[in-house]
Copies of this chain bind each other. A is one copy, B any other.
Amino acid sequence: MRELIAYLSAEQPRINATLERETAGLNPLVQPVVAHVLEAGGKRLRPLLTLLTARALGYAGDDVYPLACSVELLHSATLLHDDIIDDADLRRGTPAAHTMFGNTKTVLAGDALLALANAIVARYGNPRLTACISEAIVETVTGEIAEIAYLRSTGHPQQTYIDIIKGKTAYLIQASCRLGALIAGADKTQEEAAALFGMHLGIAFQIVDDALDFAPSAKDIGKPVAGDLREGKLTPPLLMYLENLTGDAHKSFVQKFETGMFTEAEVLAVAAAIREQGLDARTRTLAEDYLATARTALNALPDCAERTVLAQTMEYVRSRSH
């Protein structure tokens, strides 16, 4: 992943500077919430994907940076509203915004970031960019709602899980890639290839995330393990664990999962059993099919340095440990 790491080091400062400039005009009331969610904020994978796709398809303009950042701002908006919804007390190992700033400022900061992301894309005056971001917003919210609708349910098939993570995670990663293709003026074949890559990378990303929930690395000390079990989300490790249970053990798990009645000791015991049975590792293998499709899609893009880096984002998704 040498090229990816080099590209990240080179581009992160400019991405962060753009995020800072774009959010500088927001009201001081929500600035601390916005700074908090952006500082907590990971690797800037989404803006990087927009940049890489645009560059791979021959676009050299500097005005791609705000476009790339619009997706990160939208992602941050969903993190803030998720915080309220999940009532999660820790997010990426740092306290959730709503515990630090309260519901009001957290809702408003999320609304402000969503509005800003949308306004940035509208600035380009390009209906195809607008259609892309507005579809991504709809799909992301739809995915979040579907996830809540299936909380504490054990009766739905794995395909429902895939539909949920497509919505809540993959559509936005797809949009990151599609926006890059669109600003580059890509033809329909290349645009769809970039979108297909993003969609499948995004699905794989979330599957690995759901494996990591049961096998946190040393860097995640302080983050509660098995958040998905506590919240009642039937992710693949839990579905596999449930499928291994029989008789009373199965019945008891279903009953406790559906009512949210697990004790802390039971949660930790399930997490340990999932690791012992290797179900977190088996979950990671589920991501392989999606990564294979992503790889095939990538072949439709010109063979260039940026395509090499895009291929390495798959490696990053596959191997990440936190």
Contacts and interface: CB of A to CB of B under 8 A. Distances in A.
B137 A115 contact: yes
A228 interface: no
Nearest to A167: B27
Contacts of A144: 108, 111
Nearest to A144: B108
Nearest to A131: B122
Nearest to A139: B115
Interface string A7-50: 00000000000000000001111100000000000000000000
B30 A145 contact: yes
A149 interface: yes
Contact of A127 (B127, B134, B146): B127
B107 A134 contact: no
Contact of A111 (B30, B81, B149): B81
Interface in A84-143: 84-85, 103-105, 107-108, 111-112, 114-116, 118-119, 121-123, 125-127, 130-131, 134-135, 137-138, 140-142
Given A27-B146, A146-B27, A148-B108, A141 B122 contact: no
B112 A85 contact: no
A147 to B, nearest CB: 10
Interface hub of A26, A130, A137 (most chain B Cβ within 10 A):
A130
A118 B137 contact: yes
A30 B85 CA distance: 14
Interface residues of A, number: 40
A20 to B, nearest CB: 18
Interface in A129-176: 130-131, 134-135, 137-138, 140-142, 144-146, 148-149
Contacts of A107: 81, 84-85, 107
A146 B27 CA distance: 7
Nearest to A128: B125
Contact of A115 (B108, B130, B141): B141
A119 B145 contact: no
A30 B144 CA distance: 11
Given A29-B145, A114-B114, A119-B134, 4 more contacts: A122-B134, A122-B135, A127-B127, A130-B130
Interface of A: 26-30, 81, 84-85, 103-105, 107-108, 111-112, 114-116, 118-119, 121-123, 125-127, 130-131, 134-135, 137-138, 140-142, 144-146, 148-149
19 contacts: A26-B145, A27-B142, A27-B146, A28-B149, A29-B145, A81-B108, A81-B111, A84-B104, A107-B107, A108-B144, A111-B141, A115-B134, A118-B118, A118-B134, A119-B137, A119-B138, A125-B131, A127-B127, A127-B130
